[in-house]
Structure 1
Amino acid sequence: MTHKFTKAALLAAVSAGVLATPALAQQTVDVITVTAQKREQGIQDVPIAVTAFNAELLQNSGVRDIKDLAVIAPGLNVTSTSNEYSTTARIRGVGTVGDNPGLESSVGIVIDGVPRARNGVSFGDLGELERIEVLRGPQGTLFGANTSAGLINVVTQDPEFEFSANAELTYQTDGADGYRVSGSVTGPIAEDAIAFRLYGARGDREGYLTVQNFGGPRTITEDNDQDFFTIRGQLLVNFDDRGSLELSGDFTTRDENCCGAPSIVSGPTAAAINALVPGGRPLPGQEDPFSRVIQANRDTTQDIDDSGFQAEFNYEFDGFDLTAIGSIRDYELVTGQDTDFTGADIVYRDPSLNSFEFSNSTFELRANGQTDNLDWLVGFFYSQEDLTRRDAIVYGAHFEPYLGLIGGGNPALVTTLANGLGGAFIPGYTPLAPGQGAPAGGGNNQGDTYNQDGNTFALFTHNTWAIGENTDLTFGLRYTQTEKNADARFSPSNVPACDVWETVFGEALDFSTPQAQAILAGFSQASGVPVPSLIQFGTFTCLPGARDVYSNINFDQTREEDEITGLISLSHRFTDDFLVYGTYSRGYKAGGFNLDRFTQAGAQQVNFTNVLNGTEQYPAQFEPEIVDSFELGFKTEGFNDTLLANLYLFYSDFETFQLNTFNGIAFFVTSLTEGASTRGAELELLWFPENAPGLTLQGGLTYADATYNSFAPTGTADVDRLSGQNFSLAPEWYASGAVTYRRGFGDNMEWLAHLDGRYMSEQNTGSDLDPEKIQDAYFLLNARFGIGAEDESWGLEFFARNLLDEDYIQVGFDGPFQPGSFNAFLGQPRVVGVTLRARR
C-alpha cells in the first residue's frame, strides 16, 4: 500500500505539471552558479560531481540544518547518536562515527567560506540560505584535510541594498508538538555603500520519545526535545566598484534532552536488570522500539553554546582578484547521559562532569586571475584550534549487584570475590561489606580532562589551462603541515573491588603472566569459579572508568604531519551541451589522538606494563587516512537548456582507513592499514519542462560499494568481522528526488505543491557490523502544499515530514556492559505542521 501511494503521489505531481498551461517564466540550467572551485562558475563547467540546491528548493524541503539535507542530496547519509555533537555526515558510504573529538570528519563542512573543523559544531540552524553545494569525492586541494569523502558548502544570504523584512511562524504536531519563529531585516545604512542584515530564530519542540524514569533522579519524561535561540548579524561595506568587506557574527544556544535509545534486542542480562528494577529493560521477545518508549533514570541534558565572528575582504585589482577570510569561533557542549540505556542505575554521565569546549581560528588568503588560456588560483591557509574534553562515567547504586547477578547470579559476588582475593594475597586486608566494592558514585567520578591544541598551515594552487579550443587541463597541489599536542589528566577512580584486583594482579591487570596464572589457578580451586570466568569477572569489575592505572599514565604527546594532496583533471566539451572529464585526486584526513580511556588500541590490547615502565607510550595516536580517487564524469544539457543530466563513475582507494567502534565496554580506534575502497556510479537530473513553466524535477540515484579490504585475522572479533565486508551505514543504493510545481490563479495569487523523498537500500548501522544492527531498505516522503501572493508578500503552507510514518533506526549499538543486548537511535516519526510567511 505504501509504495502504491508513493507512486501515485509522484505521478499526480508530475502529471499536474505536464498538463498545466504556461504561467511562469521559463527556467534554464545554464544559469546555475557554484563556488565549488572557490570562484563563481557554471555548474556544468566544473569537472566535479557537485549538486547545488537553491533557496527555493531548500525552503520547500524544510532544510533548516545539514541533517535535513540528506533527504534530497544524492549519496549523502546523515545520522545522529548519543548527543547533538555526535552527528555524522557520509558521502558515497564514507564518514566517521563517534563522539570522540580527537576524530575529525571525512566530510568537510564549510559555511560562508569558513571550514568547521568538527562535524558536530556544524549542525544547527543555518539561517537564511542562498544555496548549498554537495561536492562528492576528495576535495583536499582547495579545502584541505578532512575532506577525503567530500564537502558540504553552505552559502547564506548577504545583506542587500534594498530594504526588506521577513517573518515566519511554524507550528508542528503529530510526532512532536513544537513551534519555530524567525525573522530578518536587511537594507542600506548608506546608499550603495553600507548595508546590513539581521536574522533571529527561536524554536521549541517536545520530545518524540517517552521516558520511563523509575523514580529518577531524572524527572523529565520525554527525550529528543529541542529548545533553541539563534541570532546572526552582517554588515557589508562596498569600496567603490572594486571591493567589499563583509563582517558577520552569530550566536546560538540550544537546550535539549538527547538522546535516548530503546532496546532492539534484549539479551540474557535483561533478566538481571529486571531483578533490580522491574521493567528496567524489555525482556527478550518484548522489545518494541517503535513504541518510542525508553527506560532512563538519569538525565540526558545537552546544553550547547555556539558563537563566532568572521570577516571577508574581496578586492579586484587590475590583474587579479584578492580574497581574505578570517574567523574566530567558540563551541561549548555540556552533556549528560544514561549510559546503560536502561531504567536501572548502573552507569551514567553527570552533566556537571562532562563537557566539550572547542575554539578555532582560521585565516585564508587567496588570489586568482585569468590570462588568455589560464585560470589560476594560489593561496595559503592557517588554522589554530584548542579543545578541552571532560569525561566521567559514574557508577550508580545498581552497578555492583548487577555485575554480581550477570557474573554468577549473586548480587554480592563483587565483594565476595574481592574479599577472597584480598584475604588470600593482601596482608592485613580489611574485608569489604556488600555495596562497598563498587559503590554508588564510584568510577572516575572527578572526571578526566583531555586537552588538545593544533596548528595547521597550508599552501595551495588550483589552475585550469585551456590546452585546446574545447579542452581544459585542471591541476592543483596543496601542501599541508599539521602539529598537534595532546595531554590528559586522568582522575583516580573510586572502586575498592577493582583496587583489590589491581593490587593482586598488578596495575596492568595482565592475566597472562605466569604469576597471574598461578594466582588464578589457586583462587579458582578455593572459590570454585573457573579461571576464564574469573578473568571475565575481573575485567568487568575493572572497567576503564574503574581503573587507577590511568591516573599513573603520563599522557603528553605530540605528532606532526606533512602531506601533499592534489588533483589532475582533463575535460573536453564535445558540444555546447556535452562535457566529459576524467579526474585523479588525492585526499587526506588528519591523524590524531584517541581522547578517551581505552584498553584496546587497534587490534591489540594496551600493554599497560610497558606503558607504566616507560618503554612505550600510551597508544593514543592513530594514523592519517589517505585516499586516491578516480572519477569519470559526463555532464549534459538538453531541451534548450531546461534539462541537466549528469553521470559520474567513481573509484576511491583508501591506503589506510580510520575506524572508531564500540565493543560494549569502550570505544577503540583502529587504523586499518590494509585499507578500504568505494566504487560506484551516480546519476543526477534537474529538469524545468518547457511546456510546464513552474514545474521543477530534481533527483539523483547513487550506487556505492564501500568495502573494507580483506586482511589476515588479528584475533580481535570486532575487527576481524570487518574483513572484506561493506562499511557500516553505507547502503549500496541511494535514490532521492524532489518535484515542485507553482501555478498562478486568481488575482496575483499562486499555489505550490511539493514532494521530496529518499530511498535507501539495506544497510548495517553498527560500526562492528553485528547482524542485529541491520536496517532494512526504507523510503521517506515529505510533502508541502501552500497558497500565497505572487509577490511573496504572504504565504500559507501545510507540510508533512516522513509522511508515511516510516519506522527506521539510524544507528544500532551494543547495550553498554550488557553482552547480547542491542539498542538503537531511531529516525524521527511523522511530523505535520503549518507555516505562515510574510515579507515586506
Structure 2
Amino acid sequence: MKRVASTLHQGALLGLLCIPVAQAATGDAGSDAGTQASPTLKAVTVTATRREESLQKVPVAVTVLDGETLERDNRNNVSSIVQEIPTLNYRPSASNKDSSLFVRGIGTISTSPGVEPSVATVVDGVVYARPGQSTLDLLDVDRIEVLRGPQGTLFGKNASAGVLNIVTRDIPEQTHGYVDYAHYGGGDENRLRFGIGGRLSDTLKGSLTTSVGRYDGNVENVTNGHEVNGYERKGVRGKLEFQPRDDLKLTLIGDYSDGENDTPSVVVKPSAAVAAGISPVVPGNSNRKISSDYKTYVDDRNQGLSLQADWSLANDFTLTSITAWRGWNNSQYQDNDNLAALPVTAVHDKGTVDYDQLSQEVRLTSPKGQFVEYVLGTYLFHGKSDETYRRLSVTNSVGNTGVADYSATNDSYAVFGESTFNFRSDLRGIFGLRYTLDQIEYDHRRVSTSAVEVNSIRPSYASSGSHTDSGISGRVGLQYDLSDNLTSYITYSRGYKGPAYNVYFNMQATDVQPLDPETSNTWEVGLKSSAWSNRLTANLALFHSKYENYQANFYDVVGTSVVTRLINAGSVTSQGVELDYALQATRQLKLSGSLAYTQARIDQFACPSGAAASCDINGKPLPFTPDWKSFVRADYDIPLDNGLDVELGTDYSWQSKVQYSLDQNPNSEEGAYGIWNASVGLADYSKGWRVALVGKNLADKAYAPVLSTGTSTTRIVPRDDRRYFGVQLHKDF
C-alpha cells in the first residue's frame, strides 16, 4: 500500500509540473484562454527575499497562508496552522514556554533560556526570540510565509531550519472597520474581534485591532468537576504610519496581549500505581479526563513596540531601519504527577519568566532591474531572561522543596547580505553570506531542602559561565527560467545555529560546558510553474540537509524521575520532496493543497554519560516528523441573483505515523490519522456581511499532537480532538 501511494504521489507531481511545459510548446491553454472572462488565481506577493515579489518567481521554498482564511478556519495562533503546512510541525506543552516548532524535521525541544530556536518567528520584521512568545493570538494577519531551510542571509536573527514570516495588514486609505464574532461548541468557545483603520490626515494613517476570546475546555477534572484545557485571552494591536514626505515613511507598531490557559497532561497509558491513583478515570487514546489536586495553568503576557523607517534614497535605493523592544512575562503552575494524591505523593511546580529583548536591524536594498541586485544588512540583538522555578516533591508524605533562580543573557551581532546577478533575462545567480557573533552568559543557583538527590530534585547547586562563538553561513545558487511560466533553481545553503547553555531547574556540573554550535549543509532543487492562463500553479522542492552537532534533548534521571537535558546529539539528515499547488478549476471552484515526504533520520547519535534511555537509535526518525503529510482544500462559490454568495469549503489533513521521542520509545508513537473540516457561508459583500456554519473534525477522530513518557504516557488534548460546530458572523462598516 505504501508503494502504491508513493507511486500515485510521484505521478501527480510529474503531471502537475509537466503541464506548463506542454503549454509552452503548444501555446494552447484552452478555448477561453486569454479572455477577460477567464477565471484566474489571485496573485500571491511575498517578502521572503526582503522585496515584494511574486511567489512564483522567488527561488525559495515557501508556503503562503492567507490571514482571512485562517480566521475563518478558527486558526488563531501558530500552533493551529500546522495542519495546513506539511513541512511544519509543532510540539505543544502544558506550558507554552516549552513549545517548539519544527521545519523539515529540525527543531529544538528545550526549556532553557540559553538556547535559540531552530525556527524563527518574525512579525512585521521583528524576531520573537523565545518560542513561547510566538504562541500568542495572531491579530490582523495579512499572510504567513513559511520559509523552509536555513534563512540567515536575508533575515535579521539567524534561523537554521526555517522562518515563519508573519505580515499584518496594511492600513487602508479609506476609513474601514469590521467586527467578527464566533461561537463554537465542544467547550463553549467565544471569540470577538474588532478592527478599524484609515487616513487621519494627509501624512498620517492609523489602525487598531482588538481581540477577546474564552474557551471552557474539553477535558474534565473528576476531582472537582471543573472543565479544563481552555483559555481566556485578550489583545490589542495598533499601527501608525507617518509619511512627512514622499521619500520617508515611519511605521510605529505596538501590541499587548495577555491570557491564561489551563492545559493539562492527560494519561493515556498508565503505570499500575498511576492507574489506581486516577480512578475513576479510564486511561486510553481518547481519554479526556484527569484526576488532579493541583491546577495546571499558565499566565502569559506579551507586549512590544517597534519603529520602522523606510527612506527612498537617490537612484532608487531604499534604507530600512527596524528598532524594536519586546517583553514577555510567563507564570506556569504544573501538576507533574498527574494525581490527586496529596499528602502521600506529589510533584508540583511553579515557574516564572521575565524576559526582555532589544533588536536593531538596518538594511540597504538596491533598485530592481540592475545587473546586480542586492540586500545588505546588520543586526544587533540583546535578550535577558530572569527565571525562578520552585518544585515541591512529596514521597510517602515526606516533602522536599527546591528553588532555582537563574538568568541567561544572549547577545548577537551579525552582518548579512544576498545578491542576485542577472546574467540574462532568464538566468540569474544567487550569492549570500552572513557572519554572526554570539555571546552567552548565565547564572544559576538552586537551594534544596535535601542534602541528597530526591525524586525530581537535585541537591543545592550553583554555577555561572559565559561563552563567545562565531559562525559563517550563506547561500549560493542558480535560477533559470525554462519558459515564461516555469522557473527552476538550485541552491546550496550553509546553516548555523549558535552555541547554547543548558540552563534549567535541575542543572548540574555536567551542564556547565556550553554546547557547540549546530551547523548544516543543505542542497535544494526547485521548480515553480503556472499554467492554463494562470489558473494552475504547482511548486516543487527537493532537498537534502546534513546537520552536525545537532542540539537536542535526551533523557536523564533525577532520583526516580526521568527528566530531559540538552546535548549535542551528533549528526542527522533530513531529505525529501515538497509540493504546493492551486487550481482555479472554474470561476466558482478552487482546489489547493500541499504534500510533503520528509525523511528525517539520526545518522550518528552521540550518547551522553548517564543516559536513562537506549542510545541504539542510529537510523531512527527524528521526533515530531511524520514521513508523509498532506493537506487538500476545496472552495466553491455559488453567486445568487440577489447579490448573495453561498460559500462552501472543505479541507482534509492527513499524516503518517510519527515518533515523538528521540529515544524511540514505542509508547511515544502516534499512528496515522486524518482530520476533516467543512464550512458553509452566506455573504453579501456589497453590504459587508457574512455568516457561516463551521464543522471541525467531522469524522470525530481523537489524536495526540504529542505523547510524553515517564511514569506514565500522557498526551496534550487538542482543541479539535472531537467533532464540534460553530457559527461565525462578520460585518464591515
* Global fold match (TM > 0.5): yes
Q: Is the 8 A contact 2:667 2:709 kept in 1?
A: no
Query: Equivalent residues in 2 for 1:376-775 (5 A)?
Result: 376-395=374-393, 399-401=394-396, 435=397, 438-439=398-399, 442-444=400-402, 447-491=403-447, 493-495=448-450, 499=451, 502=452, 542-543=454-455, 545-548=457-460, 550=461, 553=462, 555-598=463-506, 618-619=511-512, 621-663=514-556, 664-673=561-570, 675-689=571-585, 692-711=586-605, 716=611, 718=613, 720-775=615-670
Show CA shifts across 1:213-261 (max 9, x none): 3xxxxx6722211001101111111233322111111110102212x12
Match for 2:373 among 356, 375, 385? Answer: 375
Matched, 1:341 2:236: no
Say yes or no: does 1:198 pair with 2:173.
Answer: no
Q: Does 1:97 align with 2:124?
A: no
Assess if the C-alpha contact under 8 Å between 1:249 and 1:307 holds in 2: yes
Instruction: Report deviation, 1:30.
Output: 7.8
* Cα distance in 1, alignment partners of residues 513 and 346 from structure 2: 24
The answer to whether the 8 A contact 2:46-2:55 is kept is yes
Q: CA deviation at 1:766?
A: 2.4
Closer, same or farther: CA 280–631 of 1 in aligned 2, 3 Å: same
Q: Distance in 2 between matches of 1:313 and 1:220?
A: 54
User: Any idea what SS the aligned residue of 2:100 has?
Assistant: strand
Map of 1:304 onto structure 2: 300
Contact 1:626–1:655 (8 Å) recurs in 2: yes
Find the aligned partners of 1:47 and 1:178 in 2 and give their Cα distance.
Answer: 41
Instruction: Give the partner amino acid of 2:598.
Output: A
**Aligned amino acid, residue 162 of structure 2:** G
Partner secondary structure for residue 83 of structure 2: coil
Question: What residue identity is the alignment partner of 1:261?
Answer: S
Q: Are the structure 2 counterparts of residues 711 and 671 from structure 1 closer, same or farther at C-alpha, using a change threshold of 3 Å?
A: closer
1:348 to 1:25, Cα distance in 2 relative to 1, 3 A: farther
2:263 maps to 1:255 = no
- What are the ranges of 5 or more consecutive residues in structure 1 without an aligned counterpart? 1-23, 214-218, 402-434, 503-540, 600-605, 612-616
Matched, 1:777 2:672: yes
What is the rounded CA distance, in whole Å, between the counterparts of 1:791 and 1:696 in structure 2?
A: 22
Distance 1:317 1:30, change over 3 A: farther
Residue by residue over 1:297-325, the C-alpha shift from the partner in whole angstroms, topping out at 9 and shown as x without a partner, is 11212111110111111121122111111
What is the rounded CA distance, in whole Å, between the counterparts of 1:184 and 1:26 in structure 2? 34
Question: Cα offset for 1:65?
Answer: 1.2
Matched with 1:170 is: 182
Aligned-residue CA RMSD (Å): 2.2
- Mapped to 2, the partners of 1:583 and 1:803 lie a distance apart of 42
Partner amino acid, structure 2, of 1:458: A
Aligned to 2:71, the other structure's residue is in SS state helix
Q: Is the 8 A contact 2:269 2:713 kept in 1?
A: yes
User: Within 1, Cα distance between the matches of 2:248 and 2:678?
Assistant: 43
SS of structure 1 residue aligned to 2:335: coil
Q: Do the aligned partners of residues 648 and 837 (structure 1) sit closer, same or farther apart at CA in structure 2, a change above 3 Å counting?
A: same
Q: Does 1:356 align with 2:250?
A: no
Structure with bigger helix share is: 1
Taking a change above 3 Å as real, the CA distance of residues 383 and 178 of structure 1, as seen in their structure-2 partners, is same
Mapped partners of 2:40, 2:75: distance in 1 = 23
Task: Describe the superposition over 1:638-659 as per-residue Cα deviations: whole angstroms up to 9, x where unpaired.
Answer: 0011211111110000012111
Structure 1's 668 and 462: CA in aligned 2 closer, same or farther, altered over 3 A? same
472 and 366 in structure 1: CA distance in 2 versus 1, 3 angstrom threshold: same
Structure 2 residue 260 is matched with structure 1 residue 264: no
Matches within 5 A, 1:55-66: 55-66=67-78
Contact kept in structure 2, 1:98 and 1:661, CA below 8 Å: no
% identity of equivalent residues: 25
Contact 2:306–2:325 (CA under 8 A) maintained in structure 1: yes
The equivalent residue for 2:22 is none
Q: Does the 8 A contact of 1:145 with 1:588 survive in 2?
A: no
Contact 2:693–2:726 under 8 Å retained in 1: yes
Change in CA separation of 1:244 and 1:694 when aligned onto 2, cut-off 3 Å: farther
CA distance in 1, matches of 2:725, 2:97: 26
Shift of 1:572: 0.4
Alignment-derived partner of residue 28 in structure 2: none
Q: Which amino acid is 2:204 matched to?
A: I
TM-score between both structures, scaled by the size of structure 1: 0.79
Alignment CA distance shift 1:127-1:25 (3 Å): farther
Distance 1:110 1:321 in 2: 21
In structure 1, the residue matched to 2:222 is 212
Contact 2:112 2:501 in 1 (8 A): no
Q: 1:144 to 1:765 in 2, by over 3 A?
A: same
Conserved 8 A contact 1:697-1:738: yes
Shift of residue 791 of structure 1? Answer: 2.5
8 Å CA contact 2:114–2:442 kept in 1: the answer is no
1:823 paired to 2:714: yes
Deviation digits for residues 576-611 of structure 1 (CA, Å, limit 9, x no counterpart): 011111000011222211111447xxxxxx6xxxx5
1:229-248 → structure 2 map (5 Å cutoff)? 229-248=234-253
Q: Indicate how the Cα distance of structure 1 residues 388 and 680 shifts in structure 2: closer, same or farther if over 3 A, else same.
A: same
Name whichever of 362-371 and 97-106 sits farther off.
97-106
Q: Is the 8 Å Cα contact of residues 684 and 690 (structure 2) preserved in structure 1?
A: yes
Distance 1:144 1:768 in 2: 34
Q: Secondary structure at the match of 2:597?
A: strand
What letter corresponds to residue 706 of structure 2 in structure 1? V
1:490-514 deviation digits (Å, cap 9, x = unpaired) = 12x123xxx3xx4xxxxxxxxxxxx
Whether contact under 8 Å (2:82, 2:89) holds in the other structure is: yes
CA distance in 1, matches of 2:687, 2:438: 49
Q: Secondary structure at the match of 1:291?
A: coil
Tell me how far apart the structure 2 counterparts of residues 29 and 52 of structure 1 sit (CA, whole Å): 14
Is the 1:484–1:559 contact (alpha carbons within 8 Å) kept by the matching residues of 2?
A: yes
Secondary structure of 1:71's match?
helix
Structure 2 length normalisation: TM-score? 0.90
Per the TM alignment, residue 662 of structure 1 is displaced from its structure 2 partner at its CA by 4.4
Separation of aligned partners in 1, 2:686 and 2:543 = 43
What is the Cα deviation at residue 288 of structure 1? 2.5
Tell whether the 8 Å contact from 2:113 to 2:408 is kept in structure 1 after alignment. Answer: no
Q: Tell me how far apart the structure 2 counterparts of residues 220 and 230 of structure 1 sit (CA, whole Å).
A: 30
Shift of 1:97: 1.9
Deviation track 1:316-369 (CA, whole Å, cap 9, x = no partner) reads: 112211111111110001110101112223334454xx1111111111110111
Is the contact made by 2:667 and 2:713 (CA closer than 8 Å) also made in structure 1?
Answer: yes
CA distance in 2, matches of 1:377, 1:567: 13
The letter of the residue matching 1:325 is I
Label 1:343 to 1:103 Cα distance change in 2 as closer, same or farther (>3 A).
farther
Q: Aligned partners of 1:560 and 1:760: how far apart in 2?
A: 41
Whichever residue aligns with residue 304 of structure 1, its letter is D
What amino acid maps onto 2:334 in structure 1? Answer: Q
Counterparts in 2 of 1:556 and 1:99: CA distance versus 1, 3 Å: closer
